[in-house]
């Protein structure tokens, strides 16, 4: 007798486009396949073959199919193949898969990147909340910049399901999330594999990873080694080591995971250099006035997650602990402060942080209406020793030989507690609402140079109204309150001086109107108009080499994103954002150019990417990233130039587990500046008051990399 094989699937409510394409199903909105099992159907008397092994199928939401799931037009998920195929010169550029986000660098590959989004120069991460495996990456009251977000410990091969939001409308998002938030998870299992990469400009990388069954769960291990020099006259000589060990059991419905990570990096850095030094031939385009600039970083962490289906609801709990050690040597102003030894300073930090969170989500019908309630609590505690010392070629200058105000030594303790609740209600087939409220409290104490204490609290309502007039259309109206914390040292210093300063919690309020349109099964569009008002704008201080709390600001702008997938193997994606940013009062940066323009706030950003997915043995992408001109001075008299850059990535599956990948960055060899700043510095022989000048960090030239990989 013949037996017919039939498959049955375990499904949970999420989104299903990827499953539909993979399995050839019709559109079934709101489902994610967790597992599939094949059973035979046979006529009487036939022997029943053993069923196939239960096979996990990971399916996540895509840009094309968020109708009925999203609460705004500005949230989404980037699936794994796009993370893998997007051309990324540095690991932080994986985040450029978030629409409108630009990730660049102005000083050394070992340092946190520069982030730009929605008319914000987010510097090293302020107002962009990033979490990896549930662990927050942003660091408050940091030696170099508030919200410092260093992603060099992230291993790309382990990353999965990048989820992003924008705006102040999400109850489960807190400090630093007002402009955007990004959450990256780690995989529980990977194929056993090893890869070797070589490239121009001294790039070398080795990655090895494997997973195995262990104690009814999965044990994963991964190791990354990397070296890079770059185009600089004084090579970056970046050495990076990453290692991860992860044990997991079950899944995100019922299971747990524990992950240990360690990272170490050392590097030299070519910071932004004064334009007049280049024009006069003092240094070349890739040269540095102080080749001893650079840094050392070390990070060790443990994260744990617990998931449980309890009484028909979903429990999620996580905890983390990390130790971060950082030393940066930067010389931005050269001889402006210390005319003999120079202005290089060592910014050193030792940080221990522990925290975690708990949430419970459950169906809670209201008058027979479909409703889901979410409640949660989060806490974070930072113990920070941070110093700033005058140095020359990384050697500390004796106290008697350098200005006293060049030295700082602070011992900071920060304690944060958050509680939030949210109710998502479906009033009819065409109307949904999401109502939330969040309470945040932060207390800080400094026992050092800026001795004192400060506290702040904020009650933040959130609301989203979602209307679906057509099956293919959703309209969104959202509003809410958010915040970013300010550097405690600046808050206490203002208190000591009797000068009104920024509060520890700087409030922000935002609103957005948006559209999500599924034009065809393969063509989707989102459009959003937004506004955001900030009580205090973080502003770059080159004398201190860090951010400080500045005046308030207002922003408004729009975003449009288009996805078109004409074939299973081909996808086009384009994003464009136009932004208008101003201070709420005149701001004087000390260069004689007072005004209300926000320095380094981009007027527009954009991207265009073509993805080829599994076209026979081929996969790849070609992408264009665009940054418009932007003001450098508050009166907009001095402007940065912006740039556009093409990059590409190709993958070829040779067979038997072997593959080859090639990446080319800045394909056209575009000569532009990745970052530009306007401030006062002083070279030897110049007037003691210094000279206001544009300071530039050039875009890297055309670069090529080749990877050979083997999966076992």
Q: Are 422 and 172 in contact (CB under 8 A)?
A: yes
Which pLDDT score is estimated for 543? 58
Alpha-carbon gap, residue 263 to 184, rounded angstroms: 17
- pLDDT confidence tier of residue 51, bands split at 50, 70 and 90: very low
Phi–psi pair at 544, nearest 5 degrees: -95, -10
pLDDT(10) > 70 = no
pLDDT(27) > 90 = no
Report pLDDT digits (tens) over 297-329.
999 999 999 999 998 899 999 999 999 999 999
Q: Are 337 and 691 in contact (CB under 8 A)?
A: no
Mean pLDDT of 593-618: 95
* CA proximity to 454, closest of 477, 485, 481, 475: 485
* CA proximity to 696, closest of 645, 638, 647: 638
Q: Which fold has domain 97-342+355-372+384-454+480-711?
A: Maltoporin; Chain A (2.40.170)
Report pLDDT digits (tens) over 625-650.
999 999 999 999 999 999 999 999 99
Mean pLDDT of 600-614: 94
pLDDT(18) > 70 = no
Which pLDDT score is estimated for 42? 44
Which pLDDT score is estimated for 549? 76
Mean pLDDT of 192-214: 98
Alpha-carbon gap, residue 161 to 606, rounded angstroms: 22
Per domain, the residue ranges of the chain are 3-56, 97-342+355-372+384-454+480-711
> Which whole-number Å values give the CA distances from 57 to 75, 78, 251, in the listed order?
24, 17, 12
Mean pLDDT of 214-235: 97
Which pLDDT score is estimated for 417? 98
Which pLDDT score is estimated for 161? 86
Considering just the CA atoms, what is the radius of gyration of the chain in Å?
26
- CA torsion, points 150, 155, 157, 163, in degrees to nearest 10? -30
Q: Which of 34-43, 457-466, 536-545 has the lowest mean pLDDT?
A: 34-43
- pLDDT confidence tier of residue 65, bands split at 50, 70 and 90: low
pLDDT(99) > 60 = yes
Which pLDDT score is estimated for 498? 72
Which pLDDT score is estimated for 648? 97
What average pLDDT is seen over the chain?
89
pLDDT(547) > 70 = no
Alpha-carbon gap, residue 641 to 632, rounded angstroms: 10
Higher pLDDT, 538 or 255: 255
Alpha-carbon gap, residue 672 to 447, rounded angstroms: 45
- pLDDT confidence tier of residue 521, bands split at 50, 70 and 90: confident
Q: Give Dmax over CA atoms of the chain in angstroms.
A: 100
Alpha-carbon gap, residue 179 to 174, rounded angstroms: 11
Looking at the chain, the whole-number percentage of residues with pLDDT higher than 70 is 89
What is this structure's pTM? 0.90
pLDDT(76) > 80 = yes
Report pLDDT digits (tens) over 567-586.
999 999 999 999 999 999 99
Alpha-carbon gap, residue 264 to 430, rounded angstroms: 52
Count CA atoms closer than 13 A to 181's CA, side-chain side: 23
pLDDT(598) > 60 = yes
Which pLDDT score is estimated for 24? 32
Alpha-carbon gap, residue 157 to 707, rounded angstroms: 13
pLDDT(454) > 70 = yes
pLDDT(30) > 50 = no
Alpha-carbon gap, residue 241 to 255, rounded angstroms: 30
Q: Which of 33-37, 200-204, 630-634, 662-666 has the lowest mean pLDDT?
A: 33-37
Higher pLDDT, 548 or 505: 505
Report pLDDT digits (tens) over 384-441.
999 999 999 999 998 877 766 678 999 999 999 999 999 999 999 999 999 999 999 9
pLDDT(49) > 80 = no
Alpha-carbon gap, residue 42 to 144, rounded angstroms: 69
pLDDT(58) > 90 = no
Which pLDDT score is estimated for 241? 98
Mean pLDDT of 282-290: 97
Alpha-carbon gap, residue 210 to 222, rounded angstroms: 7
Supply the DSSP string of 438-479, one letter for each residue.
Answer: EEEEEEEEE-STT-EEEEEEEEEEEEEEEEEEETTEEEEEEE
- CA torsion, points 493, 497, 502, 505, in degrees to nearest 10? 50
- pLDDT confidence tier of residue 707, bands split at 50, 70 and 90: very high
Where do we find the tokens 């954009």? 606
Give the end-to-end CA distance of the chain in Å, rounded to a whole number: 38
Identify the helix (H) or strand (E) that includes residue 135.
strand 135-136
């Amino acid at each position: 007798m013949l037996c017919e094989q039939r498959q049955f699937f375990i499904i949970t409510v999420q989104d299903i486009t990827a499953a539909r394409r993979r399995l050839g199903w019709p559109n079934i909105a709101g489902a994610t396949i967790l597992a599939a099992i094949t059973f035979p159907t046979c006529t009487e008397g036939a022997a029943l073959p053993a069923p196939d092994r239960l096979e996990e199928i990971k399916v996540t939401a895509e840009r094309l199919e968020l109708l009925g799931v999203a609460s705004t037009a500005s949230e989404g998920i980037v699936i794994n193949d796009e993370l893998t195929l997007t051309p990324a010169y540095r690991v932080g550029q994986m985040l450029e898969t978030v629409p409108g986000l630009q990730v660049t660098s102005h000083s050394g590959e070992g340092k946190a990147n520069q982030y730009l989004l929605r008319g914000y120069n987010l510097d090293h991460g302020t107002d962009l909340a990033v979490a990896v495996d549930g662990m927050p990456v942003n660091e408050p009251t940091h030696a170099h910049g508030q919200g410092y977000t260093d992603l060099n410990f992230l291993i790309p091969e382990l990353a999965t399901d990048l989820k992003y939001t924008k705006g102040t409308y999400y109850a489960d998002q807190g400090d630093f999330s007002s402009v955007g938030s990004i959450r990256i998870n780690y995989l529980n299992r990977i194929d056993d594999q090893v890869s070797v990469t070589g490239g121009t400009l001294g790039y070398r990388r080795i990655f090895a990873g494997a997973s195995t069954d262990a104690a009814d769960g999965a044990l994963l291990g991964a190791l990354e080694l990397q070296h890079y020099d770059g185009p600089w006259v004084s090579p970056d000589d970046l050495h990076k080591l990453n290692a991860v060990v992860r044990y997991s059991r079950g899944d995100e419905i019922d299971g747990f995971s524990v992950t240990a990570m360690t990272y170490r990096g050392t590097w030299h850095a070519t910071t932004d250099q004064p334009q007049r030094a280049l024009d006069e031939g003092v240094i070349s385009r890739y040269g540095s006035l102080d080749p001893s600039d650079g840094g050392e970083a070390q990070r060790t962490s443990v994260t744990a997650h617990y998931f449980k289906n309890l009484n028909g609801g979903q429990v999620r709990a996580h905890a983390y602990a990390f130790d971060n050690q950082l030393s940066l040597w930067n010389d931005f102003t050269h001889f402006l402060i210390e005319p003999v030894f120079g202005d290089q300073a060592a910014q050193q930090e030792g940080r221990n942080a522990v925290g975690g969170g708990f949430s419970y989500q459950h169906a809670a019908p209201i008058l027979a209406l479909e409703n889901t309630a979410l409640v949660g609590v989060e806490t974070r505690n930072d113990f920070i020793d941070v110093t700033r010392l005058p140095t020359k070629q990384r050697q500390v200058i004796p106290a008697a030989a350098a200005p006293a105000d060049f030295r700082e030594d602070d011992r900071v303790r920060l304690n944060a507690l958050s509680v939030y609740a949210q109710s998502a209600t479906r009033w009819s087939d065409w109307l949904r609402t999401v109502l939330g409220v969040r309470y945040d409290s932060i207390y800080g104490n400094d026992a050092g140079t800026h001795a004192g204490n400060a506290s702040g609290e904020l009650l933040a309502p959130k609301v989203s109204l979602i209307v679906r007039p057509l099956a293919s259309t959703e309209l969104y109206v959202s509003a809410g309150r958010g915040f970013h914390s300010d550097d405690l040292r600046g808050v206490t210093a203002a208190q000591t001086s009797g000068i009104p300063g920024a509060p520890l919690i700087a409030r922000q309020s935002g609103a957005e109107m948006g559209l999500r349109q599924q034009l065809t099964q393969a063509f989707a569009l989102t459009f959003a108009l937004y506004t955001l008002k900030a009580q205090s704008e973080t502003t770059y201080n080159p004398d201190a080499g860090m951010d400080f709390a500045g005046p308030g600001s207002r922003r408004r702008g729009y975003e449009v994103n288009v996805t078109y997938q004409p074939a299973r193997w081909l996808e086009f994606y384009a994003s464009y954002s136009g932004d208008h940013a101003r201070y709420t009062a005149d701001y004087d940066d000390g260069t004689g150019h007072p005004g209300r323009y926000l320095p380094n706030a981009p007027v527009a950003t954009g991207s265009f990417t073509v993805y080829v997915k599994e076209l026979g043995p081929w996969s790849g992408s070609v992408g264009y990233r665009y940054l418009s001109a932007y003001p450098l001075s508050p009166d907009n008299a001095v402007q940065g130039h912006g740039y556009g850059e093409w990059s590409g990535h190709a993958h070829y599956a040779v067979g038997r587990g072997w593959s080859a990948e090639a990446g080319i960055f800045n394909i056209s060899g575009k000569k532009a500046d990745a970052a530009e700043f306007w401030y006062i510095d002083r070279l030897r022989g110049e007037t003691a008051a210094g000279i206001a000048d544009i300071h530039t960090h050039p875009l890297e030239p055309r670069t090529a990399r080749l990877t050979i990989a083997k999966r076992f």
